Amino acid sequence: MERLKSEGIASEMQAIAAEGGLDIRELLVSDILYERACEASSIVCLERGQYILKRERLLGWFCIVIGIIPLLLVLAVMVRNEIRIHS
């Protein structure tokens, strides 16, 4: 709704259902402003999608780093104590 307001598009939020704790709302705009509202909503969806993708990438790298840190610590201890692995 903030995006619509910043674009100068008058809108109204109306609750249409509340099931199992899920609140479903409908965003109402006038027919004249419908196309502009759709474009503004699409931009919001794209921005959110980009944010989620960026966050997921960062989380993926974080998980890789967290997985590598214990391995590096074990290797550092082995080198420090001159432990050799025989095969």
Residues facing 14 on adjacent strands: 26
User: Which pLDDT score is estimated for 86?
Assistant: 63
User: Which pLDDT score is estimated for 26?
Assistant: 78
> Mind listing the pLDDT tens digit for each residue in 59-72?
787 777 777 777 77
Residue 40 one-letter amino acid: A
Please classify residue 68 by burial: count the beta carbons closer than 10 Å to its beta carbon, then call 0-12 exposed, 13-18 middle and 19+ buried.
exposed
Enter the pTM of the model: 0.47
Q: 36: which 2 tokens? A: 């502009």
> Mind listing the pLDDT tens digit for each residue in 25-53?
777 888 888 888 888 888 887 888 888 88
The phi and psi torsions of 12 (rounded to 5 degrees) equal: -140, 140
